[in-house]
Amino acid sequence: MKKFYITTPIYYVNDQPHLGHAYTTVAADVLARYHRLLGEEVWFLTGTDEHGSKVAEAAEKAKMEPLKFCDLYSSKYKMLWDRLSVEYSDYIRTTEERHIDGVTKFMNILKEKDAIYEGKYEGLYCRGCEKFLTEKELVDGKCPDHQREPEHLSEKNYFFKLKDYQENVKKLVETNEILVEPARIKKELLGLLNQGLEDFSVSRESVKWGIPIPFNPGQVIYVWVEAVQNYITALGFGSKDEKKLKKFWPANVQLMAKDIIKFHAIYWPAMLLAAGIDVPREIFAHGFFTIDGQKMSKSLGNVIDPNDLIDKFGCDATRYLLLSQFPFGQDGDLKVDKFKEQYNAYLANGVGNLASRVLNMVEKYNDGKVPKRQPSEATDAWANIVKAHWEEKFLEKEKIFEYLESWARVMKRMDEEIEQIKPWELAKKGEQEKLERYLWAWLEVLRHLGWMIYPFMPDAAKKLLSKLGTYEREKSERFTQLTEWGRIKPGDKVNKGEALFPRI
Ligand code: MSP
């Protein structure tokens, strides 16, 4: 069985989860669900990043023990993923023993392989980013992302010999052995690699909340260095049982926004090369969205709580609304005040209305039963349309937006055909055969639509397929069967029931 390992970044627990976190995690869930439908063995990892000065500071402010604070905030992420129907396979927290053990082993390997040396670090440090900044990166002396002046840090540190590995990383990226997507991001990354990079510091003397460097417990491991290792510690790296690691690593897709691409596509592969571990197959950096033109960040205070959207629109619609705003992989602006309009246009009046229209007609004109199948030119054309959609394999290429557009075209065409065929007139004229021919085809297209929306809106998909009477029969089947044409069964009872998406 083909395996598919997909990861999201692990999110900082210094604050509540926001819409940016939901965007990546829902996208990963969509891809994971799709790959499960394909029949692959999917492992989907998400989790929380809990060490470092930023988290320690937030805990102190809340007058809480760091670990208690992490427990609380990590659970908020978990609760949100439950509310958003995110079906992860594992959830890693960097304060867990399994992570600490794995990281300790990894750092020892780097030391043994002579990839780490002792040195002194002086520089400007932004706690918001948890990274060193150069003078060039500052705007008016401040970190442009966090609007605060960086601190001057000077301390003894351990360094990783990035310079020794950057040529190899460059080759892997150039030859797509590490596929960096989209192409624009790959280009930027190669630009960085061509400029040449400095060795980077992997420890902190002044930070207390972290995992001690095994060969110098007076220092903790730089939070980014240990965080990226979650992708293998969660699979059991460094434990007695590395079965999962053998099975699922290297990751097929590591998903994130472009803000953290350098850590993932340069530092992380370089560390893996040094340790003699395989590098990930693909790193996909989606765009960053702004809210009314401004970067959304915890530090800037213009943050949207995804829970509020779920309260208003429900889980499925929130998932859909998040991913349907702009092409996945590009930057975009999120206009949350337009969500209601879009919900009504694409869900209530879109897929929801289409389903009720067809099911209503089947109840009215065919006693609520799937009519007999009568192949004809018009209905065969539908077979080709849905086949074309599936054959594009959009979601195997992370073309989330294109997938949504393609399914919207299917819906629009069906709407137009209903207007053109005017089934109500066929019924009046007694042209029952022709009427049934179309009703059968439309029901079958609805079945395909049900599976098309499933990765995005699992609940609505289940409801739609249950209305068509196919869900119980099909739920354990896989892609090749589900996407065949002509599986709706004549004589089966359909049930219009309640609206899939009540108008708001
Ligand atoms: N803890 C690190 C990641 C370590 S991974 C080994 C971190 N955490 S974070 O909480 O800041 O999350 C950053 C990620 O959140 C982004 O890469 C992206 O996945 C998501 N997003 C946060 N804001 C976002 C937008 N405004 N737009 C799109 N994605 C956003 O960095």
Write down the pTM of the prediction.
0.95
The residue whose two tokens read 């304060």 is 95
143 is catalytic: yes
Over residues 107-162, the pLDDT tens digits come to 999 999 999 999 988 888 888 888 888 888 899 999 988 888 999 888 888 999 99
Count the alpha carbons within 13 Å of 209 in the hemisphere toward its beta carbon: 22
The whole-number pLDDT of residue 306 equals: 96
Pick out the chain residues at pLDDT < 50.
none
Q: Does the beta carbon of 23 sit less than 6 angstroms from any atom of ligand 1?
A: yes
What pLDDT was estimated at residue 147? Answer: 85
User: Which ligand 1 atom is nearest residue 287's CA?
Assistant: 28
Q: Which long-range contacts (CB under 8 A, 24 or more apart) does 167-170 make?
A: 168/270, 168/273, 169/193, 169/265, 169/266, 169/269, 169/270, 169/273, 170/194
pLDDT at 322: 95
**For a substitution probing ligand 1, which of 23, 70, 263 has the most ligand atoms within 8 Å of its CB?**
23
| CA dist., res. 422 & res. 443, Å (int) | 16
Per-residue pLDDT, 134: 83
Pocket perturbation via mutation, ligand 1, pick of 18, 49, 70, 328 by most ligand atoms within 8 A of CB:
49
Q: How far is the CA of 260 from the centre of ligand 1 (A)?
A: 7
Give the model's pLDDT for residue 298.
Answer: 65
For ligand 1, the distance from its centroid to the CA atom of residue 5, given in whole angstroms, is 19
pLDDT at 144: 87
The pLDDT tens digits of the residues spanning 15-54 come to: 999 999 999 999 999 999 999 999 999 999 999 999 999 9
Q: Of 76, 111, 142, 295, which one is the catalytic site residue?
A: 295
Predicted confidence (pLDDT) per residue in 249-298, tens digit: 999 999 999 999 999 999 999 999 999 999 999 999 999 998 877 877 76
Q: 256 CA distance to ligand 1 centroid (A)?
A: 7
Please give the distance of CA 228 from its chain centroid, rounded to a whole number: 17
* The token pair that represents 172 in the structure block: 């892997």
Spatial CB neighbours of 413, under 8 Å, sequence gap ≥ 6: 385
CA atoms within 13 A of residue 173's CA, in its CB half-sphere: 32
Task: Reply yes or no on whether 243 is catalytic.
Answer: no
Which of the following is catalytic: 18, 186, 258, 264? 18
